[in-house]
Structure 1
Amino acid sequence: MFGTRSELLEKIRLGEDGFLELKEVRFAGDKIRGPSQADLADEMAAFANSAGGVVMLGVEDRSREVVGIPLERLDAVETLVREACEQSIKPPLAPIIERMTLPDTGGSEQPVIRIDVSRSLFVHQSPCGYMQRVGSSKRPIPPDQLARLFQQRSQSRLIRFDETPVTKAAMADLDEILWKRFVPAQHHNAPETVLDKLAMAARDDQEVWRPTVAGLLMASHEPQRFLPGAFIQAVAYQGTHALPEAEKAYQRDAQDITGPLDQQILGACAFVRKNMRVAARKRAERGREDLPQFDLLAIFEAVTNAVAHRDYSMGGAKIRLRLFDDRLELYSPGMLPNTMTPESLPFRQAARNEALTSLLARCPIDDDTLSSHRQHIMDKRGEGVPIILEISERLSGRRPEYQLNDESELKLTIYSAQMESEL
């Protein structure tokens, strides 16, 4: 929307409408006096509940003049926007937030913030309730219309989220080398046709070909550009507790693991391999024997499950891997699908992301240690959870534990083996 600078300037010149909201950012000392977090949340939710739109911060709405935002205040304003999306809108929004400059009346370039809000698959509630965009203003959605909107958008989600086109992405954002991994050698169809069959591309509401969520996750080097939170945040701590952010000395290692999902899985295993301890012990019948803190096969299965089955519609929520001296914790965004419970995980299967699991099941394992287990990343036979539980319990003597936090995040705890000194 308003893809070029000239288009955006022309829209601002014409003023607010059903797709554009202009807001001056006012300050009182070091604090932002306006707009408020609640006001911003209402505007963004109204666009998401309608056809999408752009909020421009740093442009006065009546005069349509670019007044800008002080350069040193941009961080604070962006934080306000993110907190409005995450704290004041249910379910949370993940718009594209862009810093840019626009000319004021004198021709000087002034910093502003552009917020691109796409039409959502969900109906969003903000501090003023359920809002929609009507012309240049936001209005409450009438009850009968709200009921229809809930029905329409719930029906649209019958198409799984990982198969939906991503509005802000273009086909050029898919790396040809990465997506061709999944294409049979003998094919003569156009790229769009092939990618459509793989559920890696689809037409949007304007009949434009776009990468799908699954396509970006498997064939983009930076999926988090379009899907905030589509990465693994890994931290290795010294000791058994995570200390406050200021205590950086107690973080032995930290890494944001990005890239296509198969690379994220192997990257997480490499992080654990690098940071876990390995003890040595002597056995009369076997001689010297290495005792790893964790079994890498169990870690591989756990990370694969987290990446394949997490809820990617939760904008900004990421997979978190935490490594301590006595355990490993893995947090995966989303509640369990299809009435599953933590207790039923070893006995039942349910795939939230069918397209993703299908692609991962065709993706070779590029790791000599792990490829001896099986040839491809994903096993669709449902053996992952039993492997995690049995192998880890055999090593540590404690059975791993699954726990659902606030109906929105699945936590897996794998306990460490008891490290022995060499005898």
Structure 2
Amino acid sequence: MLGTRAELIEKIRLGEDSFLELEEVKFAGGKLRGPAQEDLADELAAFANSAGGVLLLGVEDRAREVLGIPLEHLDAVEARVRQACEDSVKPPLAPVIERMTLPDSAGAEQPVLRVEVARSLFVHQSQGGYFHRVGSSKRPMPPDHLARLFQQRSQSRLIRFDETPVSRATLTDLDEVLWRRFAPAQSADAPEVLLGKLAMAAQDEQDIWRPTVAGLLMASREPHRYLPGALIQAVAYAGTTVVPEGELVYQRDAQDITGPLDEQVRMACAFVRKNMQVAAFKRADGGRVDMPQYDMTAVFEAVVNAVAHRDYSMAGAKVRLRLFADRLELYSPGMLPNTMTPESLPFRQAARNEALTSLLARCPVGDDELALYRSHLMDKRGEGVSIILARSEALSGKRPEYQMNDDSELVLTIYAARTEQEA
């Protein structure tokens, strides 16, 4: 939406409408004075409650003139936008924020911020209340309109989120090499029809074919471009806490793992292999036995479960893998479905993302060591949690623990086996 310079320049010339808001950025004494965080929250929530739109910061509305934002203040302006979305909107928003330049009246290029908000599946409240976009301005929603919107968007969420089309994406965002691996070898269907049968594409409200959430997660090289948070944030710490006391270098390694989900799983397992300790012991016969801190089959199962069953509708929330000296922690966004509890996980099975799990079940493991254990990423038998618990406890002597964090994140802790280096 209004993604190119030419489109933005033309829209600025025409002025604000249902899809464009222009905001001048003001400073006083070198400090950011406007727009206020609460005003930004109202405007962005109004877009999310309507059909989506673009907020362009650094452009004066009345004269429709590009004024720009001083380069040294771009970070502060972006931070205010993020804070507005995260702290002043419920549920939070995760817009696409882009730094770019546009020509002013003299033709000089000026830095601006383009903030794009998609139409949401939820109804968002900002500090001013519930707003929607009417023409070129935001308006409070009348009670009857608000009631209808809650009903409509609740119904839309009955469709599984992983099968919903992503409004800003096009079929060209799907890598044909990646999606063809799921398609029958011989098919006379047009690509969009074939993608539709795979639940990797669907028609939106204007009957335009768009990639679905599952399609982007499995067939895009950069799914996080359209699904903020569709990545694994992996960090290896030096000690047993986030900032070990007395440690100057508290992170040994860190990586944002992106790409299609099957690649994310492989890279996350490689990250754990690289950063965990492996002890060497001598056997009585003089041979050597290696003792890793973690059972990689259990780690593999845990990562697959995290990416397959997390809630992708929680914009911006990401899977987090944290490796400490004595444990591995894996955070997966979303509440447990269907009245499940952490205690019932080994005994019950529920799929939040059926299209996604179906595609993952057709993905080869692609890792020589793990392929000895299973040929494909998922087997759909629901045995993953039991395997994680049993194999990890057999190695470390301590049973892994599941718990909920603020009713919005499932946390798995796998304890490391005690290791002593070979003498």
The 5 Å alignment of 1:351-370 reads 351-370=351-370
Aligned twin of 2:324: 324
Please give the residue correspondences for 1:235-254 in structure 2 after superposition, counting only pairs within 5 Å.
235-243=235-243, 249-254=249-254
Q: Deviations over 1:318-362 (max 9, x none)?
A: 111111111000111111111111111111111111111000000
Residue 109 of structure 1 deviates from its aligned partner by 1.5
Look up the match of 1:63: 63
1:379 shift after superposition: 2.0
Post-superposition CA distance 1:135-155 (Å, at most 9, x none): 222111111211110110011
* 1:414 matches 2:414: yes
2:279 aligned residue: 279
Residues of 2 paired with 1:246 and 1:68: CA distance?
Answer: 44
Matched with 1:159 is 159
**Aligned length in residues:** 423
Deviations 1:95-144 (A, max 9, x none): 22111212212221111111111211111111111111122221111112
In the aligned structure 1, how far is the partner of 2:419 from the partner of 2:176?
46
The alignment partner of 1:235 has SS state of strand
SS of the residue 2:221 aligns to: coil
Alignment root-mean-square deviation, CA? 1.7
Aligned to 1:192, what secondary structure does the other structure show?
A: helix
Whole-Å separation in 1 of the counterparts to 2:27 and 2:339: 48
Aligned to 1:136: 136
Aligned-partner residue type, residue 121 of structure 2: L
2:203 alignment partner AA: R
Give me the whole-angstrom Cα distance separating, in 2, the residues matched to 1:28 and 1:405: 41
Amino acid at match of 1:126: S
Displacement of 1:63 in angstroms is 1.6
- TM-superposed CA distance for 1:75, in Å, is 1.5
Q: Distance in 2 between matches of 1:165 and 1:244?
A: 44
Q: Which residue does the alignment assign to 1:379?
A: 379
Pair 156,286 (structure 1): closer, same or farther in 2 beyond 3 Å: farther
Q: Is the 8 A contact 2:23 2:55 kept in 1?
A: yes
- Mean alpha-carbon deviation: is it higher for 59-68 or for 396-405? 59-68
For 1:97, the equivalent position in structure 2 comes to: 97
Shift of 1:28: 2.1
Contact 2:244-2:250 within 8 A present in 1 as well:
no
Per the alignment, do residues 244 and 194 of structure 1 end up closer, same or farther by CA in structure 2, a change over 3 Å counting?
farther
Question: What residue ranges of structure 2 are gaps of 5+ in the alignment?
Answer: none
Against the structure 1 CA distance between its residues 170 and 396, is the aligned structure 2 distance closer, same or farther, given a 3 Å change threshold?
same
Q: Given that residues 238 and 244 in structure 2 are in contact (C-alpha distance below 8 angstroms), is that contact kept between their aligned partners in structure 1?
A: no
The corresponding residue for 1:213 is: 213
Which amino acid in 2 is paired with 1:335? M
| Pairwise CA distance, 1:420 | 3.0
Q: Distance in 1 between matches of 2:164 and 2:112?
A: 31
Give the CA deviation at 1:231: 0.8
CA distance in 2, matches of 1:276, 1:400: 17
Judged with a 3 Å threshold, the aligned counterparts in structure 2 of structure 1 residues 30 and 6 are, in CA distance, closer, same or farther, namely: same
For 1:71 and 1:420, how far apart are their aligned partners in 2? Answer: 52
Q: Give the partner amino acid of 1:58.
A: G
Shift, 1:3, TM fit: 4.3
> Displacement of 1:235 after TM fit?
0.9
1:208 shift after superposition: 1.2
Q: 2:299: which partner in 1?
A: 299
Aligned mates of 1:247, 1:111 — CA distance in 2? 40
Q: 2: CA distance between counterparts of 1:244 and 1:169?
A: 42
| CA distance in 2 between partners of 1:244 and 1:39 (Å) | 40
Q: 1:5 and 2:5 equivalent?
A: yes
Kept after mapping to 1: 8 A contact 2:165/2:213: yes
Q: CA deviation at 1:246?
A: 12
* TM-score normalized by the length of structure 2: 0.96
Residue 283 of structure 1: how far off its partner (Å): 3.9
Letter in 2 for 1:173: D
Aligned-pair identity in percent equals 76
User: What CA distance in whole angstroms lies between the structure 2 residues aligned with 1:16 and 1:33?
Assistant: 22
